Structure 1
Amino acid sequence: MTAPRTRIVGRPQSRIQIGEWIDMAARRTPRQACFVSPSGTRSFAEVRDRVHRLARGLQRMGLRQGDRVAVLATDSPEYVETFLALFKLGAVAVPLNYRLSPAEITTLLRTAEASWIFVGDRYAPDVLRAWPELAHLEHVIGYGGAEGTVPYERVLLMGTDGVLREAVVEEQEVIALAFTSGTTGLPKGVMQSHRMWKTMSANAVLEYRFLRDEFRYSASPLYHVAGLGLVLNAICRSSTSLLIPQWDPAELLTWFRKGLTDVFLVPTMISSLLRQPGVSPADFATLRSVFYGAAPMSPDLLTSAMAVMDCDFYNGFGAGTEAGMQTVLTPEDHVRALHGHPHLLGSVGRPGYNIDLQIWDAENNEVPLGQVGEIVTRSDMVMSGYYGQPEKTAQVVVNGWFKGGDLGYLDEEGYLYLAGRKDDMIIRGGENVYPIEIESTLAACPGVLEAAVVGVPDPHWGQTVRAHVVLAPESDATAEDIQRFCRERLAKYKVPDQIRIHRDALPKNASGKVLHRLLREST
């Protein structure tokens, strides 16, 4: 295919912009598959040409640099094409969590002052109903062409010819407004700069060792920084990404059999895969690496996964939306853990490339090794701030250091161990109780698939410990069994006073982290 004509005005030739990544990949490997999805395969050359057509079509419709453009849909090649076009035009992308209620979506669109939205057919009726309430919204583009929207493919047709005028985007300019998952309350709009996104990709490609011949899948949805970031990393390396609408263990197993080489999953997803009927090591014959996040993996699950999947494992920890990746537990660390150093499986690794990490007390002083405090990092991945909330920004960004509210401690070798979130810490009768320690114990209890621990008010102790556990379908464990297991392994004041048994998964955010706030609020 012939590359579309492009005019680049005033861009410093020494500075690469994210909007150019698809062009560079298409020149490097034009026939290589960029996206594989249930609907087919698109090469890098095809994706480049579609992105150029989309960008020209949007310019003809009046899109300007700096316009806020929301995206509300499940994962698809078109979703990524949209972001690539927006990066070329210097617009501000606003990815929205499709799991939110229509009222919540309306609030976020109003907060973001979005003047454009790309929407999937499933969510188009809700957006169209809310449109009269949204003073800034001017254009609704439908991926499926739902009635009342401008069909996505029509916008591409509008950009069939003509000259694309790409924007010059400075490093400090905001290119995305991503809302937090709301683990601690209402979502906040995180301003993400061009520099932040470039640095996140560079760090990930280095630390997770991306290669050009990969066929990679991320279970993190594209509206989350990890989901879109991993696809952009693959574009940087001219490797192939699998895009399926939503996580489904049975469907993913079929893709493993079709040659997947690398995946990002959370531990509960790995557990679900290993429990699929008939699963065997032969299903993972091409698999090279599993990158997992959101929580440390229990030693039993990791041992089982490594035996069946027989590949490298990475654990990544970070503030994601607000500060990118922070630490990495490498494949070598995992092997070392299984050969005489099992404590490392409770760690989330050491700081990644060009990331400064410290542990602070309440007065912002660095604490000694082994002492629990707040995890803070400084890097080029720290956000530009919360949109319209300077006071909240000042609370979490102190002299360039990001304070995300996660607690932890460092050992003598520089490994980081999590101790939960500052807001989740339980004070029972004057004793500090860190939920993550109890959760790790519960994860080792026979029959327990996942667990979360919260503090609940108590007139005598101030707070007591309540555990929420999800049991395997075949388990007949009782609350008394689980408490007995904990009493044999924990100090008395850490043993859960209450056990809530669930048969369904615990509530989680987009990155797979359990929403402790919702569990605390449950009666």
Structure 2
Amino acid sequence: MELSQMLRRAVQVNGCGIATIEGGNRRTWAEEGDRVARLAAGLAAQGVSEGDRVAILAGNCVHYWEALFALFQLGAVAVPLNTRLTRAELAYQLDDAGAIMLLAGAGFGDMAQALRCTTLRTLIGLEDQQLDATIENLIASSEPRTAFVMGDDRLAGIYYTGGTTGLPKGVMLSHRNLVAMASNLIMHLKVDCRSVVLHSAPMFHLADFAIFVATMVAGTHVVIPRFDDETMLKAIADARVTHSFTVPLMIDRIARHPRLTEFDISSLQVLGYGGAPMPRGTYEHARATLPQIEFCQGFGMTEMPAHTFLDMEAHRDPSDSPRLRSAGQAGYLYEVRICDAEGRTLPPGEFGEIAGRGDNVMMGYWNKPDESAAVLHDGWMFTGDAGFMDEQGNVTITDRFKDMIVTGGENVWTIEVENVVSRYPGVLECAVIGLPDERWGERVHAILGLAPDADFDAAAFDVYCRDRLAGYKRPRSVEVVREPLPRSGAGKILKRDLRATRQNVN
């Protein structure tokens, strides 16, 4: 199955149903199917053809979704760009992908003009901008175009990684990869044509897989312009949202919103999360505050999206359940195993590298065969994440290998320490990193983000940790911050940034 089939089916089976909600604007699947077909024709008239790379630089909007499916209909390749990047970073990715066109959203017109010096030939505005054309003009001036029919092994998108260990790498995902991802999510999140799905992650990131999920089931997309707790709560209440997949940070903010009870969120059935671990303290508070909502966790990476799932039943276990501390089991038709340094499968309970196999595993890195070969072996994706598996196939992620702390010859998994620290009174968010230490090689350093009215007693915190952590795991230095910790577009705390600015902290 290729991606444009999702839209054709949605138009056929639910043409009169609401496809998109954005503010006060609502369109049916029949209307959206027509608009996407016209936009595909308009983009073709601007020179886009099969295999061309077309970049998108925009905040979340229905136009973004329409543009993606128009590109899929043409057999073109979408290149979503992180809106937080600098001009130099964007120029690198555009040149690396060889993008011929940039679709720019509101607020990005000047940046688009500045990027003309790259491989770009055409600039299209998603909103009313002074560029070469706008999406609405292309739709209005074009007749519907029949979708290009192709195999599902064709390249659909190039999604650039964050570049934590050098220049960003373009992850190549095929139509089959993205369909497999969506199919698994639909089954695990219990989504169908009656579902109203809130886009609560940036559309440039695979964390916003509502793009594919709601389309495949012919449900309803609800698009909001920004991601803060109040905007989400208002959208859930106004549009009667049933499902949303977001990051633990946003779930925590929703659960702690001072006016939570003023919003009618009784329609919300499922809150999925991923992109970062859910600290125990965060989950316990959310579970207590939102008892009527089911939770589901997905673990994956851009190269292998949404690979394991911790289902809703598991989230009903007591908060200290070992299963609840895991990332769940392999998704349907996926495999997962734990490997030693030589790639051999380890038995249950032993630590090693997590590897996965399935139709969601990337084609490789764009124009980087050596880097692709380093992580892809016989269909298996070696993730760089460390963990172990229990007898029932539940995978517990202990850390990224690069985030593991080696102190006095002992390995410390930062997630284990964070799960303890996050439950300390007044802690809203936390990060544990390793810092250089003359005696121990590295020491465990805790960075605590506290509630505005919280007091912190270092001695009491130390006693708390002594009671719950082995001596070598206990934070040997603690830092209290009042500003939010730095995060990626997917909501992950950027530990590399924290380490880089604290290497000389004593």
Q: TM-score range by the shorter chain?
A: over 0.9
Give the aligned partner of residue 252 of structure 2.
271
Cα deviation for residue 434 of structure 1 reads: 0.9
Matched-pair contact (CA < 8 Å) for 2:207–2:246: no
Indicate whether 1:155 and 2:134 are aligned: no
For 2:49, which of 36, 45, 64 is the aligned residue? 64
For 2:300, which of 315, 318, 334 is the aligned residue? 318
After superposition, where does 1:80-119 map in structure 2 within 5 Å? 80-119=65-104
Cα deviation for residue 469 of structure 1 reads: 1.6
Aligned Cα RMSD in Å?
Answer: 1.7
Cα deviation for residue 111 of structure 1 reads: 1.2
For 1:475, which of 430, 442, 454 is the aligned residue? 454
Give the share of equivalent positions with the same residue, in percent: 36
Give the aligned partner of residue 450 of structure 1.
429
Structure 2: how far apart are the matches of 1:483 and 1:281? 38
Cα deviation for residue 21 of structure 1 reads: 1.7
After superposition, where does 1:114-263 map in structure 2 within 5 Å? 114-132=99-117, 134=118, 136-159=119-142, 161=143, 164-227=145-208, 229-258=209-238, 259-263=240-244
Give the aligned partner of residue 488 of structure 1.
467
Q: Deviations over 1:71-99 (max 9, x none)?
A: 00000000000000000000010000101
Structure 2: how far apart are the matches of 1:411 and 1:194? 33
Of the structure 1 ranges 144-153 and 98-107, higher mean CA displacement relative to structure 2 is found in 144-153
Structure 1: how far apart are the matches of 2:268 and 2:418? 29
Matched-pair contact (CA < 8 Å) for 2:418–2:431: yes
Matched-pair contact (CA < 8 Å) for 2:429–2:448: yes
Of the structure 1 ranges 163-172 and 393-402, higher mean CA displacement relative to structure 2 is found in 163-172
Matched-pair contact (CA < 8 Å) for 2:269–2:293: yes
Cα deviation for residue 413 of structure 1 reads: 2.2
Residue aligned with 1:94, SS: strand
TM (norm. structure 1) is: 0.92
Structure 1: how far apart are the matches of 2:106 and 2:279? 39
Matched-pair contact (CA < 8 Å) for 1:467–1:498: yes
Give the aligned partner of residue 10 of structure 1.
none
Matched-pair contact (CA < 8 Å) for 1:207–1:353: no
Structure 2: how far apart are the matches of 1:522 and 1:513? 17
Indicate whether 1:370 and 2:370 are aligned: no
Residue aligned with 1:17, SS: coil
Give the aligned partner of residue 31 of structure 1.
16
- Residues paired across the two proteins, number: 500
Q: Deviations over 1:214-249 (max 9, x none)?
A: 11113221111121x222111111111110122121
Matched-pair contact (CA < 8 Å) for 1:442–1:486: yes
Give the aligned partner of residue 439 of structure 2.
460
Q: Deviations over 1:413-453 (max 9, x none)?
A: 22111101011111111111111111111111111111111
Matched-pair contact (CA < 8 Å) for 2:326–2:397: yes
Residue aligned with 1:284, SS: coil
The change in CA–CA distance for 1:301 and 1:113 in structure 2 (over 3 A counts) is: same
Residue aligned with 1:27, SS: helix
Give the aligned partner of residue 329 of structure 1.
310
User: Which sections of structure 2, spanning at least 5 residues, go unmatched?
Assistant: none
Matched-pair contact (CA < 8 Å) for 1:467–1:499: yes
Q: Which amino acid aligns with 1:364?
A: G
Cα deviation for residue 300 of structure 1 reads: 4.2
User: Which sections of structure 1, spanning at least 5 residues, go unmatched?
Assistant: 1-15
Indicate whether 1:434 and 2:417 are aligned: no
TM (norm. structure 2) is: 0.95
Residue aligned with 1:403, SS: strand
Cα deviation for residue 297 of structure 1 reads: 2.8
Q: Deviations over 1:382-440 (max 9, x none)?
A: 10111111111111111111011111111122211110101111111111111111111
